[in-house]
Every structure is written in structure tokens, then in C-alpha cells.
Amino acid sequence: MRDEVDGLVEAWGKERPDLDVQPLSVLSRISRLARHLDRARRAVFAAHALEPWEFDVLTALRRAGDPYELSPGRLLRATLVTSGTMTNRIDRLAAAGLVERHPDPADKRGVLVRLTGAGLTRVDAAFADLLHREHAILDVMSGTDRETLAGLLRTLLVPFDSGD
């Protein structure tokens, strides 16, 4: 079985035999796969009238558990965006009827962002469809291979997530 990366690696190996192009065989595949996954995810989100950033905010609230609310500060940490960006996102989601702002009973100056019924319904449907699509993508691999791949990818990802 060959893919486009095999040709890329071979071509670079011939053109630049002085360089070890082996990292391309792994990282180019990860990069190409990321683009394909992004397209697949965007298609699922679009089917539910959601942008990727909307899905990120709504799923952060959904994962918080009932009553599906977080402070804007916790939301921005969960989604890795700036305060101004989060404020804009909350405004847009509230205008769409997917979230509401409520006073924070523990902090008179604070607010909490909560999923509305419509937001909960939409994010649950989008998440279920996303998982269905991702299962279909992974169906070419055995369960053991999936676990092995997940572990190997974790090894590569941990240094980035830990800030090293």
C-alpha cells in the first residue's frame, strides 16, 4: 500500500540525499490527515449549522455537566482563546439562542454562560454525528491498532501540551 507521502519522501530523498527526510514519512502524514479530518469535522458541523469555534464552546459547556454552565474565564481556558475573542463568541452564541448569560451567585460581578435547550439539542446531535463519522474513519484499523496509534500520538503530543 502506497500513499502520496511515499512519493514525496522518495522525491526528496533523490533530490536531497544529504538530508535525512525520514521525519516526512510521519509528520507529513499527520499533517495531511489533520487536513482531511478538519474537512470531515467541518462538514459534520455545517450539517448542524455550526462553525468549529461554536462547537468548541458548546462542547466545553456540555462537558461541564448539568446545568451546563461555565464562567467566561473557564470557557476561554477550555478553548484557548483570548478574553475579547471569547466575549465575541458568547455574544454570537447568545444572539443565536444557543447560550444564555446568568449572574454568578458566587460572584456578584461575575456571569455564567449556560447552554440553552436549543444549544444542548444542537451540540448533542452534532457530537453524535461527529462520533459516527470518526468511527467510520477509524474502521480501517483494528481496535488494537487504534490503541497503539493513540499511544504513539500521545507520546508526540504531550511535550506540546505540557509547554516544553
Report the candidate in 56, 59, 113 with the shortest Cα–Cα distance to residue 79.
Answer: 56
Q: Which cell numbers hold the place of 164?
A: 516544553
Q: Which cell numbers hold the place of 111?
A: 456571569
pTM of the complete model: 0.86
111-122 pLDDT, tens digit each:
999 999 999 999
pLDDT of residue 67: 96
164: pLDDT strictly greater than 80: no
- Side chain identity at residue 163, one-letter code: G
pLDDT of residue 162: 80
Mean pLDDT, range 31-50, rounded to an integer: 96
| Residue extents of the structural domains in the chain | 1-47, 51-158
Per-residue DSSP letter, 18: T
Strand order in the sheet with 99-104: 69-70, 107-115, 99-104
pLDDT band at 79 (very low <50, low <70, confident <90, very high): confident
- Specify the CATH number of the domain 51-158: 1.10.10.10
Could you give the CA distance from residue 65 to residue 59 in angstroms, rounded to a whole number? 10
